[in-house]
Amino acid sequence: MHLFALKESEGHGARIAAALGVKLSQLEHREFGDGEFKIRPLSCVNGQEVCVIQSLFEGPDFSVHDKLCRLLFLIATLRDHGARRVTALVPFLCYGRKDRRTKEQDPVATQYVARLFEAMQCDDLVTFETHNLAAFQNAFRLRTQHLQMGGVFQDVLTWRTEGPLVVMSPDPGGVKRAQLFRESLQDRQGRGVGFGFMEKRRSGGHMTSGDVVGDFEGRSVVVVDDMIASGRTMMAAAEACRARGAAKVYALAAHGLFTAGAEALFASDLFERVFVSDSIPPFRLSDGVKTRRLEIVDTAGEFADLFRRLTP
C-alpha cells in the first residue's frame, strides 16, 4: 500500500501517515513557467492499493481549482500506471455548499465534483463533515466514507463544561449534525445534554436570523456547525444565547475557513473558545489572533482508524 500527499497537503499527510505507522511515498512535483504542472509517483504502483491526501481549500499557494485539478490528474496517473485501487482522502471537500438548486438555473456543484472523481476512476473518497451528508452521499456513485465530528471533538469540552450543557445548531439545516454531536457528547460525558437551534435565512449573500428554540439560562452552550467562514452565523447564534442567559458559549466547527471578517470572533467576548479541526490551517488569521481563544484539534488519529477499516 502506498500513501501519497500532494506537497500542499504534506503536513496533514505526514500526521496521518504517522498515525498509521507508515511513511509517505514520494511524488515528483514539477511546475512549468506557463502555470501547467506534472506530478508523478516515484514508487511503482502497479497492482497496489494507493491513497492520496489532498484538502481542497483556497490556500496561500494554490487556488481550490488548482488543488482539485492536481488531485484529479494524480488519481488518473495512478490508475494509468496500474494502481489496483485508489482512495482519495480529502479532509475538506470543496463545493459542498452548493448541493441543491435554490434559484432558477442554479448549478449543483457537489454533483459536478462527484462526476470528476468518477471520470478519473477514483474508487473511494474519504472526507470529514460535509455540509450536507445526504446530498454528499447521493451525489457520489463511488464508495464514500464520512468522518463525523463526534469522534474528533468528543474530548475537547470534557473539563471545560462542568455545569448544565446545551448543544445548539445556528441554523435549521445543521440540526441533524448538531443532534449527532449531542448524542456523542452525552455518551462520552455520561450525562444529559440539552439542545437548541436558531432560524436563519440567507439570500444574495445577506443573512438574517430569526426565532431561537432552547433553554440556555445558566448553561454552557456549544454552537456546532460544519464550517466557520466570516463567522457571522456563529456570532449571531452566540448573541442570541447570551441574550437568553447563557453562562458560557463555545464555537465548534469542523472546518475553519476564517474568511474576511472572521477575526471579529476572537476580538469579541461572546466566546470562551473557538474549536476547529486541522483540515484547513488558519493561514488567514494574524499571529495574535491565532493564540486568542482558538484551539485546533488533530484529525490524524480518526482518519487513520477510518482508513484501517477501509483496507483489508
User: What CATH number is associated with residue 104?
Assistant: 3.40.50.2020
Distance (Å, whole) CA 25 – CA 11: 14
* Number of domains composing the chain: 2
Which pLDDT tens digit goes with each residue over 90-131?
Answer: 999 999 887 778 788 988 999 999 999 999 999 999 999 998
Q: Are residues 206 and 248 in the same domain?
A: yes
With cut-offs at 50, 70 and 90, classify the pLDDT of residue 159.
Answer: low
Does 255 share its domain with 159? yes
**Domain boundary pick from 112, 147, 182:** 147
* Averaged confidence pLDDT in the chain: 91
Are residue 131 and residue 257 in the same domain, yes or no?
Answer: no
Q: How far apart are the first and last CA of the chain?
A: 11
pTM for the model: 0.92
Residue 213 shares a structural domain with residue 125? no
Residue 233 lies in a domain: yes
Looking at the structure, tell me whether residues 231 and 276 fall in a common domain: yes
The predicted-structure confidence for 39-93, as pLDDT tens digits, reads as follows 999 999 999 999 999 999 999 999 999 999 999 999 999 999 999 999 999 999 9
Same-domain pairing of 46 and 138: yes
Asked if 70 and 61 count as a contact pair (C-beta separation under 8 A), the reply is no
In terms of residue numbers, what domain contains 28?
2-147
| 9-24: average pLDDT | 96
Same domain, 181 and 199: yes
Same domain assignment for residues 155 and 80: no
Are the C-beta atoms of residues 239 and 270 closer than 8 Å to each other? yes
Give dist(CA 129, CA 96) in Å, integer: 10
Residue 8 confidence (pLDDT): 96
The residue among 30 and 309 whose pLDDT is bigger is 30
170 in any annotated domain: yes
Within this chain, do residues 126 and 53 fall inside the same structural domain, yes or no? yes
Residues 6+ apart with CB under 8 A from 126: 87, 88, 89, 90, 144, 145, 146, 147, 303, 306, 307, 310
The CA distance from 30 to 45, in Å, is 19
Q: What integer is the mean pLDDT of 196-222?
A: 78
Look at strands 206-213 and 194-203 and give their pairing: antiparallel
SS3 sequence, 217-271? CCCEEEEEEEEECCCHHHHHHHHHHHHCCCCEEEEEEEEECCCCCCCHHHHCCCC
Whether residue 69 is found in the same domain as residue 176: no
Among 147, 180, 201, residue at a domain's last position = 147
Question: Is the residue at 237 inside a domain?
Answer: yes
Which of these three, 102, 128, 147, is where a domain ends? 147
